[in-house]
Structure 1
Amino acid sequence: MSSQAAQSDTKRFANNDKQLTLAITGASGAPYALRLLEVLGKAGWQIHLLVSSAARVVFATEQDLKLPAKPEAMAAVFAEYTGVNQGQIHCYGKDDWFSPVASGSAAPKKMVVCPCSTGCLSAIATGASDNLIERAADVVLKERGQLILVPRESPLSAIHLEHMLKLAQLGVTIMPAAPGFYHQPKSIEDLVDFMVARLLDHLGEPQDLVERWGYGASRR
């Protein structure tokens, strides 16, 4: 990248409050990540996307979506699949320590790990920082940013619960992938939208995916 292009990117990111680091790990729940990426992208967010090797296996299993290993090619696949402008999706490799998300001076202040494996949960809770996903989460914690984890595991062991409690006490939002049924979902997409809507609420992004409790047709 030329110095002029780098300066352009720096200026663009610095002037854009709608930035998010989205990490996707190897827990079940690829549809949640795809829908979140789609909605945020279409709402104008810049997404710094981190995808673990295990997540690529999950995408192939749950979505029949083969993700290439190279970040640029992966960004293109996600853009085509979700209909998001490719310029809004910035993918990085697991060892890309020169990426913006690796430093508190450049990383977005908001990060979501969706879905979040219990292995990733453990690494974040212990400050392992052994790959870029773990480092990015560590940066958001140390910079007092907003970190949301969407674990998908059942049942939960005492180890998992201890890690969640530790992180919750540090201000991390633990949002298990546990959709509700009071909105009378008719499809898997409705269940996915329930969780994505809750994530959007916490990120401060207006949403009309799911009717709010106590309003409209669902009110009794």
Structure 2
Amino acid sequence: MSGKVKLYYFDGRGRMESVRWLLAAAGIEFEEEFLDSREQYLKMVKDGLLMFEQVPMVEIDGLKLVQTRAILNYISAKAGLQGKDMKERVLVDMYVEGARDLGDMLLPLQFLPAENRENSLKNLRGKACNRYYPVFEKVLREKGGGFLVGNAFTQADLQLLEVIIMVDERMPDVLKDFPHLQEFKTHVSALPKIHAFLQPGSQRKRMPDDTYVNTVRKVLNM
């Protein structure tokens, strides 16, 4: 294997997508091995590669990391994206967890029967507009824009941008009442490494579709 970081997951977003975003923002090159068969997954389990028998799994710095939050925390610490002191780090952690709570509502959507998705999207819109976006809008308004924590880009900014863009894909008008979040989206999306990741041909994955869902179900025997 080359010296690059290696990701083991499905050819789709899921819980690995935030890791891809973070590696791209940190300027860390990575390659991927996609799971597409039950046998491939069971061999990884048998070989002891998957603690808790779960993916995503990331090979980095001689480690085989599982559990998404642990992976993200390691990479963000390595890249200096956790804030400059303890007070900033705890704010970063709080904002990351808030954004992730909203983002986690998107994960099961494609796995739901089509007739249930409309209600789930309605619930997502309500939570975004009434609980989560107002918090981030207030933070940015009181800071005068820029980044969420201090004067530098952190994992919190990246996590929030990822969620904003994914929600926008489903509901393009959802930011209309949040001008500071609109400015934030434009500002952070224009950062060079993030701008490159958002372009066609990058390692960013498309919205999940039935092919992705069927592969996950087959590999994990769901």
Superposition TM-score, scaled by structure 1 size: 0.29
Structure with the larger strand share = 1
Structure with the larger helix share = 2
